[in-house]
């Protein structure tokens, strides 16, 4: 991570999000978070690279957001995390949860399972691929939880839900489903299922049909459906 990115008064982030989240960058918790990250960088390898920490926001400006998919942590393996939840860069083998996402996608709308795990195409169409925690120490899952990121991303979820109407929130697993309290369910659509992890996918993720349901909801609102094909 580039230390300078997190040491700025306001980190580099897409302008519409920068404006919406301006107060968060000034808050005491975020200043403590920056101090923590700078110290971590001096001691450990941190994922994703600094320029990709806010990739979910950079790839999906506010005016484009129509779907919000919430993850928990960045991948902690070398080369995996690039700022979009569940996604990995081209050339990196898709992790098990992402493999199961592709299996459900294939079963739901008959899209061929791709030979890569890069979900940038979804993000560019308005699917906000947001992890609750935006950084992680290499090889140590959950190592940056409860350091301030959750306050930041909770605020992002709440503010985008207040600013827009008719969003589709996809909440897989208990962690993501706890974010429902940030959303006015009378103004948005919430789809819930088990997490796609191999440990839970058979408990309700497989067969959830969230991809087709999302597109049905978007179409009914006169919005362009997501082309889920990668």
3-class DSSP string for the chain: CCHHHHHCCCCCCCHHHHHHCHHHHHCHHHHHHHHHHHHHHHHCCEECCHHHCCHHHHHCCHHHCCEEEEECCCCCCCCCCCCCCCCCCCCCCCCHHHHHHHHHHHHHHCCCCCCCCCCHHHHHCCEEEEECCCCEECCECCCCCCCCHHHHHHHHHHHHHHHCCCCEEEEEHHHHHHHHHHCCCCCCEEEEECCCCCCCHHHCCCCCCHHHHHHHHHHHCCCCCCCCCC
What is residue 205's predicted lDDT score, i.e. its pLDDT?
98
- Enumerate residues 6+ apart whose C-beta is below 8 A from 16: 61, 62, 63
- Enumerate residues 6+ apart whose C-beta is below 8 A from 3: 38, 41, 42, 50
Distances (CA, A) of 89 to 6, 81, 130: 23, 8, 16
Across the 230 residues of the chain, what is the mean pLDDT of every consecutive 10-residue run? 47 94 95 95 96 97 98 97 98 97 98 96 98 98 97 98 97 96 97 97 97 98 97
- Catalytic site residue from 27, 58, 73, 227: 73
Query: Average per-residue pLDDT in the chain?
Result: 95
Tokens representing 214? 């999302």
What is residue 11's predicted lDDT score, i.e. its pLDDT?
79
User: Which position has the token pair 């950084």?
Assistant: 135
What is residue 1's predicted lDDT score, i.e. its pLDDT?
41
Residue among 55, 193, 194 nearest 127 (CA): 55
What phi and psi values does residue 219 have, to the nearest 5 degrees?
A: -65, -40
* Omega before 48 within 30 of 0, i.e. cis: yes
- Enumerate residues 6+ apart whose C-beta is below 8 A from 214: 67, 168, 170, 191, 225, 226
Span 141-180, pLDDT tens digits: 999 999 999 999 999 999 999 999 999 999 999 999 999 9
Q: What is the pTM of this model?
A: 0.94
What is residue 227's predicted lDDT score, i.e. its pLDDT?
98
Rg of the Cα atoms in the chain: 17
What is residue 21's predicted lDDT score, i.e. its pLDDT?
97
What is residue 10's predicted lDDT score, i.e. its pLDDT?
58
Residue among 98, 80, 100 nearest 90 (CA): 80
108 assigned to active site: no
């Amino acid at each position: 991570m580039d230390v300078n990115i997190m040491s700025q008064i306001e980190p580099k982030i897409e302008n519409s999000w920068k404006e919406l989240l301006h107060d968060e960058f000034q808050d005491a918790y975020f200043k403590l978070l920056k101090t923590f990250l700078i110290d971590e960088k001096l001691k450990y390898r941190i994922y994703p690279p600094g320029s990709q920490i806010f990739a979910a926001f950079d790839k999906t400006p506010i005016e484009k957001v129509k779907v919000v998919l919430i993850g928990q942590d960045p991948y902690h393996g070398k080369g995996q995390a690039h700022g979009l939840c569940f996604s990995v860069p081209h050339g990196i083998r898709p992790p098990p949860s992402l493999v199961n996402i592709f299996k459900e996608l294939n079963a739901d709308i008959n899209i061929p399972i791709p030979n890569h795990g890069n979900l940038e195409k979804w993000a560019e169409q308005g699917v906000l691929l947001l992890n609750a925690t935006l950084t992680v120490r290499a090889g140590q899952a959950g190592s940056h939880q409860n350091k301030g990121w959750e306050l930041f991303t909770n605020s992002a979820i709440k503010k985008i839900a207040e600013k827009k109407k008719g969003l589709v929130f996809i909440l897989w697993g208990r962690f993501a489903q706890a974010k429902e309290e940030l959303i006015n369910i009378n103004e948005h659509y919430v789809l819930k299922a088990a997490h796609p992890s191999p440990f839970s996918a058979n408990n309700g993720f497989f067969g959830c049909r969230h991809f087709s349901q999302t597109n049905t909801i978007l179409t009914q609102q006169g919005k362009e459906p997501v082309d889920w094909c990668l």
